[in-house]
Amino acid sequence: MSTPSAEFALNPLDVLRERFAGAISRLYAGTPGEGQDPLIAASKNPKFGDYQCNAAMALGKLVGKPPREVAEALLKAVEIGDIAEPLTGANIAGPGFINITLRADALATLLSRLDTADLGLPAPAKRERVVVDLCGVNLAKQMHVGHLRSTVIGDTIARALSRAGAEVIRQNHVGDWGLPIAMVIAALIREHGTGDPAKYLHELDQLDRAYKRAQAECKGHDELVEAVRHCGSPKLAAEWEDELKQATAAEAKLADAKRTLMALQNREPTELAVWKRIYAVTMAECLRVAAELSADVRDEHSAGESSYAEELGPVVDELLRRGVAEESQGAVVVRVEGIAEPCLIRKSDGAFLYATTDVCAIRRRVQKLGAARVVYCVDARQSLHFRQVFGAAERAGYTALPGGEKATLMHAAFGTILGEDGRPFKTRTGENVRLTALLQEAEERALAAALSRNPDLEPAEQKKVAHAVAVAAIRYTDLSTERIKDYVFSFDRMLAFEGNTGPYLLYALVRVRSIFRKAAERGVDAVKESGAALRIGEPAEKALALALLRYPQTVRDVAQTCEPHRLCAYLYELAGAFAVFFDQCPVLAAKDEGTRAARLSLCRLTERVLADGLGVLGIPLVDRM
Ligand code: ARG
């Protein structure tokens, strides 16, 4: 049986692997040789052809036959005539290596299969449904660099999944419920009264400040203050008068916040109105920033913690009843095999937790939304949380799809963005760096860089180019390092037009596009010519063709592994192969019209693959820069 990826293989290596695997299963079905890896490799020495199949030796041992005999059988059984020169005994070398030489037209044949509307990524017969958990902002707080990664990585994984044929449901698990929000609501009502919050609450900055104030106000009774309070010594109490007063005030504020949370839970109109206003103000800003980053995070993707509020109590009760959860020192926990700390789903004071909501979210995503896979694009520091929650949901039976199959849950964890000092990225005053400020600075620098290269950039285009370059720089830096690793944020590095950067890739696209513009200027009908048959001869053409043919499998790999850096590395190689081709193979100045037309075809395919790949990375495209 062929795997879906093999069905559409275009890279000669994958095609050969697939065809030899087919031959092996036909020849050795029901023997220990069945399913053996065909061990295809690119030849190190062109004397031995382009590729080798090295499976005969291991197979010979397994099926008890001389390897050369196995090699003979393989080359008779394998069907590769469409892309390789016919195989004869002369292709067997040494103990049983099979040397394979591609047909001269093989690459053109394979490229024509890539050159379809879907670029080698046809919609699968059955589309897998995948939930991607991304963004995850919190109410009343400015979006900072921590949300950048979740938004950009999540958006890219979602795009790669869709491109590979999955049906993607994006979920923005907004932190919009619980005591911290209640603290802000309580503080706002204390400060502004119970009137219409739309009258005094206009922007996220106000909320950000209110959030910090509310947090500070509710803090204040540490252990020492408690000890002084309870020791009964008037002398100590006098010395600690201020602290004790503050603690009492903080307690009152905290009590107010708890009361507010109850009111919110009971949908009291005053508290609910403030909550709604906070929600609207935060989300307007959050969705605006996401759009600026070209991340597809919209209102309909929001499924905040509040949307699970009604489910928390019943779920905990159900899990207790079924014996999945148990009481532990007044709290309720679900023990998970292999993890020392159990998953806490109800505190001893009756409050529910972040984890309770996430257990409910898994139930909804798998059993209601029907997701066969759920991918969480969340900071690596939450890895214990997800192991606990995944384990608890599994024990609860919430990972079973309506049809009975099990959904796969994956924490697509990412590392921290560091400043140039190697510590978590902060402003000089130690504040979190805001995404809006970051984007603005990137655009200013991008414009300066673009203008220094191309002073003639038309004013009308400047804004568009600056934005595209800035987004390319920020997104590509974030996506091109292995997701789990930390990386250092550096404007200078990410905005460079040379090297492994977003602007460099964008520039590669602009270069291909400029060929078509120049063709038009010279009266060459590039559209017609670029429909000409592909013809691959020169080494640089061959290298470019081989790079192009790897595209579909690269996208499928990203969708499977949720590792966008694979696509970045691929596009960087493709851009490099194109640069060499561009340097060595004149296109418009080719020696004859046939060559020009064939090279224009190759350029057009390169343009399509680059544009498609940059699209998966969420990088806005431009024609010039
Ligand atoms: N709001 C959370 C935070 O800022 C992220 C939410 C991630 N998603 C989830 N299902 N827990 O840390």
Position in ligand 1 atom list of the atom nearest CA 379? 12
Q: Which atom of ligand 1 is nearest to the CA of 146?
A: 4
pLDDT at residue number 33: 94
From the candidate CATH numbers 3.30.70.100, 1.10.1200.120, 1.10.730.10, 3.30.565.10, the one assigned to the domain spanning 502-616: 1.10.730.10
Query: Helix (H, G, I), strand (E, B), or coil: what is residue 2?
Result: coil
- Decide if pLDDT at 300 tops 80: yes
Atom of ligand 1 nearest to the CA of 138: 1
**Do the Cβ atoms of 214 and 257 come closer than 8 Å?**
yes
| Beta-sheet strand order (sheet of 40-42) | 40-42, 51-53, 97-100, 92-93
Q: For the chain, what is the mean pLDDT?
A: 94
Predicted confidence (pLDDT) at residue 6 exceeds the cutoff of 60: no
219-227: Cβ within 8 A, 24+ apart = 219/250, 220/246, 220/247, 220/249, 220/250, 220/251, 221/247, 221/250, 221/251
Q: Is 197 in the pocket of ligand 1 (CB under 6 A)?
A: no
Rounded to whole angstroms, how far apart are CA atoms 62 and 28?
10
Query: What is the position in ligand 1's atom list of the atom closest to the CA of 137?
Result: 1
Split at pLDDT 50, 70, 90, the class of 243 is confident
Most confident of 219-223, 264-268, 354-358, 417-421: 354-358
CA 566 to ligand 1 centroid distance, Å: 25
Cα 136 to middle of ligand 1, angstroms: 5
The answer to whether residue 616 scores a pLDDT higher than 70 is: yes
Tokens of 437: 């400020």
CA–CA gap between residue 268 and residue 197 (Å, rounded): 14
Report how far ligand 1's centroid is from the alpha carbon of 364 (Å): 16
Percent of the chain with pLDDT over 90: 82
Q: Distance from the CA of 286 to the center of ligand 1, in angstroms?
A: 14
Give the number of the atom of ligand 1 that is nearest the alpha carbon of residue 382. Answer: 12
What is the longest distance spanned by two Cα atoms in the chain? 102
Q: How far is the CA of 44 from the centre of ligand 1 (A)?
A: 48
- Tell me the CATH number of domain 129-177+305-411, given options 3.40.50.280, 3.50.50.60, 3.20.20.110, 3.40.50.620: 3.40.50.620
Pick from 394, 316, 323, 402: which is nearest to 357 by CA?
Answer: 316
Predicted confidence (pLDDT) at residue 153 exceeds the cutoff of 90: yes
DSSP letter string over 383-397? HHHHHHHHHHHHHHT
Quickly state the pLDDT bin for 218 (edges 50, 70, 90): confident
Residue nearest to atom 6 of ligand 1 (CA): 136
Ligand 1 pocket member 173 (CB < 6 A): yes
Tell me, what's the pLDDT at 439?
92
Q: Is the pLDDT of residue 2 over 90?
A: no
User: Could you tell me if the CB of 342 is within 6 A of ligand 1?
Assistant: no
CA distances (Å), origin 480, targets 98, 145, 149, 491, 507: 37, 16, 12, 15, 17
Amino acid (1-letter code) at residue 453: R
Is 138 close to ligand 1, i.e. is its CB under 6 Å away? yes
For ligand 1, whether the C-beta of 378 sits within 6 Å is yes
240 Cα–ligand 1 center, Å = 39
Other C-beta atoms closer than 10 Å to the C-beta of 576 total 16
Confidence of residue 298 (pLDDT cuts 50, 70, 90): very high
How many whole angstroms from 225 Cα to the centroid of ligand 1?
33
* Pair type for strands 331-334 and 326-328: antiparallel
- Residue 233 pLDDT: 85
Q: Is the pLDDT of residue 322 over 90?
A: yes
Residue 356 Cβ < 6 Å to ligand 1: no
* Average pLDDT value for residue range 318-338: 97
Q: Where are the domains of the chain?
A: 12-102, 129-177+305-411, 179-294, 435-494, 502-616
pLDDT digits 0-9 by tens, 540-581? 999 999 999 999 999 999 999 999 999 999 999 999 999 999
pLDDT at 7 (0 to 100): 55
How close is the Cα of 198 to the center of ligand 1, in Å?
A: 27
Q: Could you give the percent of the chain with pLDDT greater than 70? A: 99
Ligand 1 close to Cβ of residue 361 (< 6 A): yes
Higher-pLDDT residue of 390 and 428 is 390
Q: Is 207 exposed, middle or buried (0-12, 13-18, 19+ CB in 10 A)?
A: buried
In the 8-state DSSP scheme, what is residue 365? Answer: I
Which has the higher per-residue pLDDT, 145 or 293? 293
Task: Judge if the beta carbon of residue 172 lies within 6 A of ligand 1.
Answer: no
- At residue 276, does pLDDT exceed 90? yes
SS3 letters across 248-265 = HHHHHHHHHHHHHHHHHH
Q: For ligand 1, is residue 133 a contact (CB within 6 Å)?
A: yes
154: CA distance to ligand 1 center in Å? Answer: 12
Say if ligand 1 is within 6 A of residue 175 CB. Answer: yes
- Which residue's alpha carbon is nearest to atom 7 within ligand 1? 136
For residue 234, the model assigns a pLDDT of 86
Q: Are 599 and 450 in contact (CB under 8 A)?
A: no
Position 3 pLDDT exceeds 70: no
CA 387 / ligand 1 centre spacing (Å): 14
pTM value is 0.93
358 C-beta closer than 6 A to ligand 1: yes
Per-residue b/e over 375-397, b at no fewer than 16 CB within 10 Å?
bbbbbbebeebbbbbbbbbbbbe
For the segment(s) 12-102, the CATH number from 3.30.70.20, 3.30.1360.70, 3.40.50.2300, 3.40.50.1980 is 3.30.1360.70
Q: Is the pLDDT of residue 434 over 90?
A: no
- Asked if the domains 12-102 and 129-177+305-411 are classified in one and the same CATH topology, the answer is no
Alpha helix segments (H runs only) across 414-550 = 435-453, 459-480, 491-494, 502-521, 526-529, 539-549
Residue 402: count of CB within 10 angstroms of its CB: 9
